[in-house]
Amino acid sequence: MTAEPAPPRRRPAEAVRAAAANHPPKPDRLGDPTTSVSAWNAANALTLMRVALVPVFVTLLLQDGGHDPAWRAWAWAAFTVASISDLFDGKLARMHNLVTDFGKLVDPIADKALMGAALISLSALDDLPWWVTLVVLAREIGITLLRFWVIRHGVIPASRGGKAKTMLQGSAIGMYTLVMTGPLASTRAWIMAAAVIVTVVTGLDYIVKAVRLRRGTPVPAGQG
């Protein structure tokens, strides 16, 4: 009985193509960071809503010279909705794999635009000392510049006081937006003072971390 001739040997490239044809790649799983995510998603919609609420907040706050309690209550509502949205857009993006470059870019811009507009408006109304606004804005602009300064060396780890800073700033600005007198007015002044202190301390922490990165010194994540 004559043996059948052996099939011709395939070249390596042909073997690879044949294997790929017989075993097509599986679709990306949910949560795979390589999955393409559209910028038009719920998380980015919340971020864009926060950006849109900035001029709404300023307009409401400055109505009738900025001293009408009713208009300022509406301004407080707009500020509160915008601040709450900041708590959910990031979590929503991470939980449902909706993280995009657009969101990474616009989210911090929305945060700074909201806080900056509120501080400047309140100072323009003589409700908040200008030095407070200048200290906070200088810190935020300075940290942004520091990130670009060390971008080739790494990413500056987030400070542990960052969340406290955001909470104190948001609470104080919300209280200053409303018309308050007596003990409540004194309370909001103390909260703003605490916010300024934490703002300065965390800013100095970022400077130390940035210098360490430039020198090549390891900076543990979450330190300080």
The domain limits of the chain are 39-126, 128-224
Alpha-carbon torsion 70, 73, 78, 81, what sign?
A: negative
Helix (H, G, I), strand (E, B) or coil at 72: helix
Please give the structure tokens belonging to residue 87.
Answer: 């708590």
pTM passes above 0.95: no
- Residue linked to tokens 């300023």: 58
Say yes or no to pLDDT of 224 above 70. Answer: no
Q: Which of 142-151, 155-164, 203-212 has the lowest mean pLDDT?
A: 155-164
Examine the pLDDT at 87 and tell me if it is beyond 70.
yes
What is the Cα–Cα distance from 45 to 32, expressed in whole angstroms? 22
Cα–Cα distance between 111 and 167 in angstroms, integer? 12
Q: At 73, is the pLDDT very low, low, confident or very high (cuts 50, 70, 90)?
A: very high
- For the stretch 7-20, pLDDT in tens is 555 555 555 455 54
- Over pLDDT 70: what percentage of the chain? 79
Residue 74 has pLDDT above 50, yes or no: yes
Q: Once rounded to an integer, what is the mean pLDDT over residues 39-56?
A: 88
Nearest to 196 by CA among 114, 145, 140: 140
Which of 95-129 are b and which e, b meaning 16 or more Cβ less than 10 Å from the residue's Cβ? eebbbbebbeebbeebbebbbbbbbbbbbeeebbe
